[in-house]
């Protein structure tokens, strides 16, 4: 049943086939995110055109889409090169001949290397640079440009260009790849501004490490220890294309959940905030190698305002964080000597000789 609050034409959360009567083109459909997207689109009722460079792998994609419940009469594939202008024009023409419309383009074709392993920018030759940008950036531009005339005539459509977290931050040995993914974000944002008034949404998806064959191009460097299945990316993609037409996601990032071991304490310092359930790390404002700052090492009673509050409210905690939060904080793996600051009485409680810290 469709959500009554959703605008007409928007898929409701309970729709079994939210993309019924839609047509999706997927570049890079022979493997990875592209293949998973083809299967998801077909399962959701869309007609699918999978584009790639390997006919055999494209056939495997279509077979998987049929097993997922896709309509075999609305599934097709084309062996084309996304970096070739004529091939991309042919892609749009064939889609219109077969289906009569184009509603979704997922531009996911991309390469990490030119088949020669990691290289620094100095070692990167022009052939490697051109090959990566030709597929990743030029291919995105040509595929977008090819489908736009049909979408503008329809006064609607969705273009999702796959960038990467490498399009948000540069990484060593990935100069060409990062440049291409940064470029995809800029291209998508510019294009989105040009066509949004005609009902066409252009968005960029920025996935982190996913379990795809792309990591084979990085050998002998092993893939990251923590990757996410491509189905996680596809679930986000389905959410994006079924949003109400008046809504877009701006460069959404999806990454695997990593288990970072971090200290149980967080640095509170003057003016900082500590969340419930977290203890502050006694860090140094002066970067003291002993750990703990002059402010932090003064302990519960502290000095200045903390000392005055101690005298004003006997028995109250004058420490740098609320006692209720400290009581609910997780047990710290740190040694006791590192966790507890030395205590001293403040002048209001017991006069003592001033001590230099």
Q: Rounded distance, CA 100 to CA 110, Å?
A: 27
Q: What is 243-294 written as a DSSP string?
A: S-TT---SS-EE-PPP-----SB---TTT----TT-BPP---TT--TTSS-T
Within 10 angstroms of residue 239's Cβ, the number of other Cβ atoms is 12
Q: Which residues are catalytic?
A: 177
Q: Rounded distance, CA 293 to CA 285, Å?
A: 5
295-331: b or e for each residue (b if 16 or more CB lie within 10 Å)? Answer: bbbbbbbbbeebbebbeeeeeebbbbbeeeeeeebee
Q: Which residues, 6 or more positions from 66, have their beta carbon under 8 angstroms from its beta carbon? A: 42, 72, 75
Q: Rounded distance, CA 116 to CA 268, Å?
A: 48
* Whether the Cβ atoms of residue 78 and residue 49 lie closer than 8 Å to each other: yes
Q: Rounded distance, CA 323 to CA 326, Å?
A: 5
DSSP 8-state class, residue 314 = T
Angle of helix 126-133 versus helix 175-195 axis, rounded to 10: 30
Nearest to 49 by CA among 22, 83, 17, 86: 22
Angle, CA of 257, 260 and 266, to the nearest 5° = 120
Q: Rounded distance, CA 269 to CA 280, Å?
A: 9
Q: Rounded distance, CA 133 to CA 209, Å?
A: 20
Question: Quick one: which H or E segment has residue 95?
Answer: helix 85-99
Its sign, for the CA torsion 53, 54, 60, 66, is: positive
């Amino acid at each position: 049943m469709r959500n009554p609050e959703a605008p007409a034409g928007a898929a409701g959360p309970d729709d079994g086939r939210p993309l019924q009567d839609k047509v999706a083109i997927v570049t890079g459909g022979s493997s990875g995110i592209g293949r998973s997207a083809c299967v998801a689109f077909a399962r959701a009722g869309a007609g699918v055109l999978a584009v790639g460079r390997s006919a055999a792998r494209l056939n495997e994609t279509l077979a998987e889409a049929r097993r997922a419940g896709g309509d075999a009469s609305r599934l097709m594939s084309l062996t084309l090169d996304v970096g070739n202008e004529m091939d991309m024009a042919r892609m749009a023409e064939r889609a219109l001949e077969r289906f009569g419309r184009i509603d979704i383009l997922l531009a996911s074709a991309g390469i990490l290397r030119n088949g020669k392993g990691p290289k620094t920018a100095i070692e990167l030759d022009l052939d490697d640079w051109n090959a990566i940008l030709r597929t990743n950036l030029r291919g995105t531009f040509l595929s977008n440009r090819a489908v736009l005339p049909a979408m503008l005539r329809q006064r609607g459509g969705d273009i999702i260009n796959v960038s990467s977290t490498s399009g948000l931050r540069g990484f060593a040995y990935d100069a060409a790849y990062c440049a291409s993914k940064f470029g995809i974000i800029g291209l998508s944002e510019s294009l989105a501004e040009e066509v949004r008034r005609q009902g066409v949404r252009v968005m960029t998806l920025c996935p982190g490490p996913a379990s795809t064959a792309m990591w084979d191009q990085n050998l002998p460097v092993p893939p990251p220890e923590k990757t996410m299945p491509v189905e996680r990316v596809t679930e986000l993609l389905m959410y994006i294309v079924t949003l109400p037409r008046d809504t877009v996601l701006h460069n959404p990032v999806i990454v695997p959940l990593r288990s970072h071991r971090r200290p149980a304490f967080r640095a509170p310092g003057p003016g900082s905030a500590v969340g419930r359930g977290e203890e502050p790390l006694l860090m140094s404002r002066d970067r003291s190698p002993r750990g703990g700052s002059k402010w932090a090492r003064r302990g519960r009673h502290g000095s200045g305002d903390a000392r005055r509050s101690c005298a004003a409210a006997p028995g109250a905690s004058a420490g740098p964080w609320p006692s209720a939060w400290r009581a609910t904080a997780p047990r710290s793996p740190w040694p006791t000597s590192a966790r507890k600051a030395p205590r001293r009485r403040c002048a209001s409680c017991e006069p003592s000789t001033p001590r230099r810290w």
